[in-house]
Amino acid sequence: MKVFAILSLFLILVAYSFAADDFVHFYDHSVIRVNLINERQVELVASLNLDVWSENLVLGKNDVMVDSSQEMIIKHSDIDYEVLIPDVESVIQEERTRLQSRNESQVWPQASFFDDYHNLSDIYAYYESLAKSYPSIATYIPSIGKSIESRDIPAFTIGKSTATKKIYFQGGQHAREWINHATTAYIATQLVTLYSSNAVVKELVDNIQYVIVPVVNPDGYVFTWGSNRLWRKNRRLNSGNSYGVDLNRNWNDHWGGAGSSSSPSSDTYHGASAFSEPETKAVSAFILSKGPFALAVDYHSYSQLILRPYGWTTARPTNDATAKLVGDGIRDAIYGSHKVRYTSEASWELYATTGTASDWFFGPAKVPLSYTIELRDLSTFVLPKAQIIPTGEENWAGALYYSTYVLKN
């Protein structure tokens, strides 16, 4: 009887542990870089319905997450590949364990905000604290609209609303790209904290208003913390009971074309219509209300790229020479910080995309200099915390460059 009672208690505890674990796990998964040399290979890999970390399957090198059986199919199909992350679950579990075990003495505001990653409420609280600490130059706007799950989407401004020149940047469109949430916060922090001590920063903030939306996709970000670390889209319930629209395929510029999907289960699902999502609708309306802007940046990860329009066509914009000059300057400024190489190129040179924020900035919003900047590194969304500050530092250097260009031109 005692043995039965102990066994029953054990089974209850096991059942509870599974019930209490709401996380999506990635046992037996790895990330590989496949080199696809013909359309047959592209079609074969596409038929496996993999999570494509490099976003779009194209001829050439693509990063995909596979289980062991899918890797075996690729191997037996004579597709050349290399393993980037041999055990995805262990990488995610290490990060999750670390974040769950932090105590009060290890997290902001007791320690640096950039020592580690932070959940949504802490990110919002951080921006609000910056505004309270520097009220003469910074403003926290608690909500510019609501997400599909009714979360607020805040904004943050630095400088005077009467400034004749304005710069916009945003982060967090894709939920799993945690480093871009940290990097946008790092750049905002440098602008406000260095204002009183750095003559260059003071001149920039005195003459340029910076408008920032730190987390475009709050629901997706919350979901990466509480359930699926590798979730990309927002959290709309689609027909067929799949979830999510790729917000960076939902903007009203050549919506629904190449580089996006009409399948609701796809990671690049563009939604039912342009601006069908409350997140893109709210952010785009806010941008138009605050403009015009001289320059805009949409921060993402990974791949270390500075991408300029267009994504929807191979045609060059009339100001492409200037846009390339500034993009190359951002690249060089970034390299000067930690000798990390980013590539500056037109978006279509990477792959075709439609309905993206940066093309919308340049098109309907009439922002002459528009960029998507893909941050560190070259192989993972689960970037180690040790790379948060270096990534922030090098992109702060990039932001100083593009801000100075805007100021002088």
Residues designated as active site: 374
Please report, as a single letter, which amino acid is at residue 310: Y
Tell me how far apart the alpha carbons of residues 256 and 236 are, in angstroms, rounded to a whole number: 18
Interacting residues of 177 by C-beta distance below 8 A, sequence separation 6+: 300, 301, 302, 375, 381
Annotate 111-175 with DSSP letters as a single string.
S-GGGS---HHHHHHHHHHHHHHSTTTEEEES-S-B-TT--B--EEEES-TT-SEEEEEE--SST
Structure tokens at 154: 């805040």
CB atoms near residue 201 (< 10 Å): 18
Going by the DSSP 8-state scheme, the letter that residue 243 receives in this structure is B
Tell me how far apart the alpha carbons of residues 242 and 240 are, in angstroms, rounded to a whole number: 6
Pairing of strands 29-36, 155-158: unpaired
Give buried/exposed letters for 241-278 (b at 16+ CB in 10 A, else e): eebbbbbbbbbbbbbbbebbeeebebbbbbbeebbbbb
Phi, psi of 350 (to 5 degrees): -85, -60
Cα dihedral 121, 122, 125, 131 in deg (nearest 10): -130
Helices (H), 216-346: 218-226, 278-290, 320-338
